[in-house]
């Protein structure tokens, strides 16, 4: 069907071309010129048919013209130039028609290809213009972002010359002409050497690296966190070094001040613990010993036999002295539990658990048998946090069951105290109004760890503490670096011997 349709279309185009030229020959050439050429109109008809209908239409038009020349003129065809036999002339005419058809078809095909290529070029040019417009918009936006960001952004070539910088970088250098300059031209030699060494490290490792860099600005050193990274070309080779630097000067100052504050608090707590230890020793070796000696003498007097009228008074005094000894020991344990110093934090927590169980609270203790002795500061922090947690449970929780877990996980010691009491809604910010919670968190922070409080009404409370694990040997080495007087206090408790 497609072939028939194509042939029919070519036949119609050929017939229309031949008819048109026949009309032109009869209506134009004969009246105007006085004679009617027969071959030239036919060749023009073949050309028109081939142009508008393709080579097939040109061939059909040539065949029609041959038939017309044969039939209409009875074989008497007069060529002005060629004088050959009639059949030869018809074959020549048809051959010329075929040649013209092929030539016109080739020209038509070339024209179509040229038009198609032109359309492709126009589309490509339009696409390039569109991409260029998009690139200009993106470049303008990126430039706006770069120039209005507080961070420093730059790109260097492999020779260390700056090829792209933002406004913040130019402000940092206090000069308008920065492009094409190197670090040595913009900064002091020592600073430039450090920056170039960092760039070299990025080129060697072929990956992004974060550095902390100090750069002078208006006579003052500014600290930056710089992320430097390689930039690759289309072949995958390093073509440049990019960098994004954020000014952390104020944050670093705040961090240094916080670290100094933590160190001061750590020193204060250590001093307080040391003073408590001294007071506990003074109570144990002084007051309790004196009261115990007096109690033993009174008991000896009672055993020796006294008049009945004095026995009741003596026994009353003995009872008071015994309560004084018990109160002294309780006070000493509250100030500094001897079990913590002698046996470690696990035994000290077990003492706390015995007190809780005497208060009719069921306590489950999950402990790590391989925990061993730790640095006294870490043991003190663990014990005091657990003690405060038990105090809060006794005052507020109304819980009848408590679970405490003490484990070592890698380089951390993990403490978790969980109760199933009434719970509460933790404040968004732990401030001075909740001294117990704040005290636990501060102790953990000063010890280099964290303390988290998780609670909800009617869901109980969970205290989770993670501290760095420091063995007793490491703690002893740290204490060896402290002043000798702090390790061996004198009788007057001020770290010096009596005069």
| Residue-wise pLDDT tens digits, 282-340 | 776 777 777 788 878 777 777 777 676 677 777 788 788 888 877 777 776 666 667 77
CA distances from 431 to 158, 261, 435, 442, 448 (A): 53, 17, 8, 11, 20
What percent of the chain has a predicted confidence (pLDDT) above 70? 77
Q: What single DSSP character describes residue 374?
A: B
Q: Would you state the pLDDT for residue 490?
A: 36
187: three-class secondary structure by DSSP: coil
Sign of CA dihedral 25, 31, 32, 34: positive
- Of 74-78, 127-131, 239-243, 426-430, the least confident: 74-78
Question: Mean of the pLDDT values across residues 15-21?
Answer: 77
Please count the other Cβ atoms lying within 10 Å of the Cβ belonging to residue 42.
25
What is the distance between the alpha carbons of residues 406 and 353, in angstroms, rounded to a whole number?
A: 13
Above 80 in pLDDT, residue 485? Answer: no
CA distance 282 to 274: 12
Contact 445, 455 (CB under 8 A): no
The answer to whether 366 and 403 are in contact (CB under 8 A) is yes
Q: Are 475 and 376 in contact (CB under 8 A)?
A: yes
Annotate 222-239 with b (16+ C-beta within 10 A) or e (fewer).
Answer: bbbbbebebeeeeeeeee
Q: What is the token pair recorded at 384?
A: 């005091």
Measured over the CA atoms of residue 28, residue 33, residue 34 and residue 38, the dihedral's sign is: negative
User: In whole angstroms, what is the distance from residue 283 CA to residue 296 CA?
Assistant: 18
- Greater model confidence, 388 or 81: 388
Per DSSP, 14 falls in state: H
What's the pLDDT score for residue 1?
A: 54
Q: What is the pTM of this model?
A: 0.45
The 3-class SS string of 402-460 reads EEEEEEEECCEEEEEEEECCCCCCCCCCCCCCCHHHHHHHHHHHHCCCEEEEEECCCCC
Interatomic CA distance for residues 407 and 466, integer angstroms: 10
Q: What Å distances lie between residue 315 and 2, 42, 278, 311, CA to CA?
A: 133, 155, 33, 6
């Amino acid at each position: 069907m497609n072939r028939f349709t194509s042939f029919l279309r070519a036949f119609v185009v050929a017939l229309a071309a031949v008819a048109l030229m026949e009309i032109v020959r009869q209506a134009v050439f004969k009246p105007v010129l006085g004679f009617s050429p027969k071959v030239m109109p036919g060749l023009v008809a073949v050309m028109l048919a081939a142009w508008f209908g393709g080579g097939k239409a040109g061939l059909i038009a040539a065949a029609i013209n041959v038939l017309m020349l044969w039939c209409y003129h009875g074989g008497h065809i007069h060529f002005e130039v060629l004088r050959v036999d009639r059949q030869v002339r018809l074959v020549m005419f048809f051959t010329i028609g075929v040649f013209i058809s092929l030539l016109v078809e080739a020209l038509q095909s070339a024209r179509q290809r040229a038009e198609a290529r032109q359309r492709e070029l126009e589309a490509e040019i339009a696409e390039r213009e569109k991409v260029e417009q998009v690139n200009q918009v993106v470049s303008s936006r990126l430039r706006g972002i770069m120039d209005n960001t507080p961070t420093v952004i730059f790109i260097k070539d492999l020779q260390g010359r700056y090829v792209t910088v933002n406004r913040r970088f130019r402000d940092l250098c206090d000069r308008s002409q920065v492009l094409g300059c190197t670090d040595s031209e913009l900064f002091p030699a020592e600073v430039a050497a450090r920056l170039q060494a960092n760039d070299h490290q990025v080129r060697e490792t072929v990956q992004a690296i974060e550095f902390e860099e100090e750069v002078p600005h208006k006579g003052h050193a500014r600290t930056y966190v710089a992320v430097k990274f390689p930039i690759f070309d289309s072949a995958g080779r390093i073509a440049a070094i990019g960098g994004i630097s954020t000014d952390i000067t104020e944050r670093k100052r705040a961090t240094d001040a916080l670290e100094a504050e933590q160190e001061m608090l750590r020193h204060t707590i250590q001093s307080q613990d040391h003073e408590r230890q001294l007071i506990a020793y003074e109570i144990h070796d002084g007051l309790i010993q004196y009261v115990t000696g007096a109690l033993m003498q009174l008991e000896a007097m009672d055993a020796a036999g006294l008049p009945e009228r004095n026995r009741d008074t003596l026994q009353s005094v003995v009872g008071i002295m015994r309560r004084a000894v018990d109160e002294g020991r309780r006070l000493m344990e509250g100030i500094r539990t001897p079990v913590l110093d002698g046996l470690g934090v696990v035994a000290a927590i077990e003492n706390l658990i015995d007190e809780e169980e005497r208060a009719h609270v069921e306590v489950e203790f999950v402990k790590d048998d391989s925990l061993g002795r730790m640095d006294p500061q870490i043991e003190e922090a663990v014990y005091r946090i657990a003690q405060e947690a038990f105090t809060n449970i006794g005052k507020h929780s109304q819980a009848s069951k408590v679970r405490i877990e003490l484990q070592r996980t890698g380089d951390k010691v993990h403490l978790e105290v969980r109760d199933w009491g009434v719970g509460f809604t933790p404040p968004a910010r732990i401030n001075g109004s909740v001294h117990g919670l704040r005290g636990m968190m501060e102790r953990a922070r000063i010890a280099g760890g964290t303390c988290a409080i998780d609670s909800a009404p009617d869901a109980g409370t969970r205290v989770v503490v993670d501290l760095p694990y420091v063995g007793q040997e490491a703690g002893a080495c740290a204490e060896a670096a402290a002043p000798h007087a702090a390790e061996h206090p004198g009788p007057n408790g001020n770290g010096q011997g009596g005069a």
